[in-house]
Structure 1
Amino acid sequence: MQYNNRSSRSIVQSPSSPWFIESILGSGTYGFVECVRNINTHQMLARKIIKVTSKQEDENELPATAVREIAVLKSIHHEFIIKLSHVAFEPLYNSGTNHLCLYLEFLPTDLKRYMDALGPGERISPRLVKSYSYQLLSAIECLHRHRILHRDLKPPNILIDYEGRLKLADFGLARQCHMPERTLTHEVVTLWYRPPEVLLNAPTYGTALDVWGFGCVFAEMTLREPLFRGECEIDQLLLIFRLLGTPTVSEWPEIAQCLYYQTGLPRFPLDDVQLSRLPMSSQCRQFLKDTLIYNPKHRRTARQLLEEHEYLAEGAVLVHSSSKNGLLERPIRSVIDRAIRQQSESMRSVR
């Protein structure tokens, strides 16, 4: 596969580096990610270059998000979680400044870019949604089994390839979760995937936070658009209430302890009328309903969903049978190609 975004030859590489830059994959406040190929072994990896401030460098410190990501990826090994090859602190682009580099397993695109590249009439097939759901939930279950919260589940953090494999990535907000848990920061989870306990500023939260995010991602795969596209926290809450009804103290007793809870919140009925209008099968609708439960104590765990829910039974067969015959339900190859082209075009101005 050729990656034809802005010419890698225009980027000055360190002459001592064995890595050739194929393309730029993405950028953010953390830094940027490149696809690199080893000149000697031809191994292809994703290199995540983390910005280190002059103050951090002077004080010999690393960004907290990078430390978290490295710690989690070194401790977790799972077939549906991105693998960390190695970490390096090295000079790049003849800048004379060392950069923190995470060398990660490479996959060609992510779930958001794939969905954005779908053309009119194209959708993620129901079987592929089940396969992706099973793989993603398996990754989440592994994290929770090791008492780790991801805290930023969303389509851009879910990588996919041509063969139907999925890898959960971007662990900059991940952290260990202990019981009993002390108060945690609420500056987590991208707004559209944020659960009500975080939106209402509950005293604490736990693994149920990731299950809500999973439910939102599942709905987006099925509907081809975000389920709750809020513009701010209150708007996000109102969108959730309109679809699922306004939670009550009897249903979720701990809601009264949430800092932002008010008895005067707009009241929407707790019925299935709005949910029934979503353009998805009754089986998908029931699965969504069983993931988006208000009370975190009653929300199904990742393990319960994997082991007990009827919807995922076919997903388990699709994934486990692939280990025998090598075939997973696959995405549309031309859509991945289109996603890569769009990705290349959007990254031309980077660096």
Structure 2
Amino acid sequence: MGDMLCVSAVRPGCSSCCSERRSSQQIQGLQHVEAVTTAEQRQGIPFGAATSYIHLEKLCEGSCATVYKGISRINSQVVALKVIKLEAEEGVPFTAIREASLLKCLKHANIVLLHDIIQTKETLTFVFEYMLFMFQLLRGLAYIHQQHILHRDLKPQNLLISCLGLARAQSIPRQTYSSEVVTLWYRPPDVLLGATAYSSDIDIWSAGCIFVEMIQGQPIFAATSGTHEQLEKIWAVLGVPTEDTWPGFSKLPNYNPELVASRRPQRLRVICDRMSRVPAAENLASRMLTAFPRGRISAQDALLHSFFSPLPPHLYQVPAGQSVLTVPGVRLQPEICDLFASYGKGRVSGGLSKFW
């Protein structure tokens, strides 16, 4: 079982036209990516065949693909199956080809492993390992950001395999990207206001929203009527920025003076009462959920935040290709309510570490 974070991105300098389609033959060279060794393969059960995997349940559905939980008949592992519908006579989507190509190159325990690719006339299925939680998410983000890759669609539905959304390579110098990225509830205010020169800070905001949601049990900025309401939700918590706190704020394309009302920021623990029960959680969340994008903490620095201080120090020496769950004494706590009960007693019981 893996840990966290899959991305679908382009390489620096690669064409990013999402509407481009390639012929089905081009995907063949990417099939069987990182498959298990032949010795582990069961006799007569091949890779690249739909019959080699059993669908158990639908996990989530997006505009481009549906993800199912399944079991591999090849090695009996639990897998996640991302099924992409193919349109007649248009071939394999370019986005799917670049996703598979990128995953061949990213070697990290917190980047999901692509086990297999199955192609039929109607669908293209990616077979991923099945994984989880917050330290691993930041560890995976730190890695892809070091590789100059932005995820651009982090949300809870993508924490399982994180492969349903847009992503691009962050080039140097930075390219101008689209502002129509990231699911609305997890989209940072700078992008909501039309900013297109974003960097890794776009993923940090989304991760901060996920972090709060994991603790509180519900989205922190859940809007229903679009960008205007989404910004209202954010300003209600953070307060409306000014030119002093956010240089260039009023010059962003979607700036609306009507939104700039007198709002006093509220402490996160007032909005999310469970924050006060988890030591250092409010501070970490506030450093990720900073309106001014350049003021947000990096993924690498977030890993060193005091929120993670109960973790064994040698956890930070774990090689990129090794799961943090291999460290002695580290394992996942199954229920967040147990953590709250442990903190109520002033300690984490059973020697467990917090991992969401």
TM-score (norm. length: structure 2): 0.70
Q: CA–CA distance in 2 between the matches of 1:192 and 1:23?
A: 29
Q: Would you say the 8 A contact 1:81–1:169 is kept in 2?
A: no
> Which residue matches 1:240?
234
Change (3 A) 1:17 1:207: closer
2:107 corresponds to 1:77: yes
Question: 3-state DSSP class of the match of 1:325?
Answer: coil
- Structure 2 counterpart of 1:287, one-letter code: L
Instruction: Report the CA distance shift for 1:293/1:316 in structure 2 as closer, same or farther (over 3 A).
Output: farther
Who is 1:104 aligned against? 128
Q: Which one-letter code corresponds to 1:136 in the other structure?
A: L
Residue 215 and residue 316 in structure 1: after superposition, are their counterparts in 2 closer, same or farther (change >3 A)?
Answer: farther
Contact map agreement 2:142 2:300 (CA 8 A) in 1: yes
Partner of 2:58: 25
Change (3 A) 1:104 1:40: closer
Q: Offset at 1:258?
A: 1.2
Mean CA deviation greater in 196-205 or 69-78? 69-78
The amino acid across from 2:288 in the alignment is: T
2:82 partner SS: strand
- Tell me how far 1:36 sits from its aligned partner: 4.3
2:252 pairs with 1:252: no
**Does the residue aligned with 2:90 lie in a helix, a strand or coil?**
helix
Q: Residues 134 and 316 of structure 1 are in contact (CA less than 8 Å); yes or no, is this contact kept in structure 2?
A: no
Aligned match of 1:208: 201
AA matched with 1:252 = W
* SS of aligned partner of 2:295: coil
Q: Residues 332, 145 of structure 1: CA spacing in aligned structure 2 closer, same or farther, 3 A cutoff? A: same
| 2:54 counterpart letter in structure 1 | I
1:158-196 CA-to-partner distances (Å, cap 9, x unmatched) read 12xxxxxxxx52154111011322321122111111001
Is this contact kept in 2: 1:158–1:169, CA < 8 A?
A: yes
Partner of 1:189: 182
Indicate which of 328, 333, 353 corresponds to 1:330: 333
1:49 correspondence with 2:43: no
Equivalent-residue separation in structure 2 for 1:257 and 1:316 (angstroms): 46
- What is the deviation of 1:260? 0.5
Partner of 2:289: 292
Q: Distance in 1 between matches of 2:50 and 2:269?
A: 56
Tell me if structure 2 keeps the 8 A contact 1:69–1:172.
no
Contact 2:315/2:327 (<8 A) preserved: no
Question: Which structure 2 residue ranges, 5 or more long, are not aligned?
Answer: 1-48, 317-323, 339-356
Give the TM-score normalised by structure 1.
0.71
**Share of identical aligned residues, percent?**
31
Q: Deviation string for 1:96-140 (max 9, x for gaps)?
A: x25322121134xx7xxxxxxxxxxxxxxxxxxxxx322211111
Given that 2:240 and 2:261 are in contact with CA atoms closer than 8 Å, whether structure 1 keeps it comes out as yes
CA RMSD of the aligned region, Å? Answer: 2.8
* Alpha-carbon contact 2:179-2:196 (below 8 Å) kept: no
Residue type matched to 1:135 in 2?
Q
> How far apart are the structure 1 equivalents of 2:164 and 2:50?
26
Contact 1:31-1:49 within 8 A present in 2 as well: yes
Kindly provide the amino acid, as one letter, of the partner of residue 138 in structure 2. Answer: L
Residue type at the aligned position of 2:251:
Q
Helix, strand or coil for the counterpart of 2:219? coil
What amino acid sits opposite 2:135 in the alignment? Y
Determine the C-alpha separation between the residues in 1 that align with 2:84 and 2:325: 36
How many residues align? The count is 277
In structure 2, what is the equivalent of residue 65 of structure 1?
Answer: 95
Uncovered stretches (5+) of structure 1, i.e. residues with no partner: 1-15, 92-96, 111-131, 160-167, 336-351
Residue 231 of structure 2 aligns with an amino acid whose one-letter code is: L
C-alpha spacing 1:38/1:284, structure 2 compared with 1 (3 Å):
closer
The match for 1:151 is 152
- The 2-side partners of 1:20 and 1:86 are apart by 10
CA contact (8 A) 2:149 2:167 kept: yes
| Correspondence 1:314 to 2:310 | yes
Change (3 A) 1:245 1:318: farther
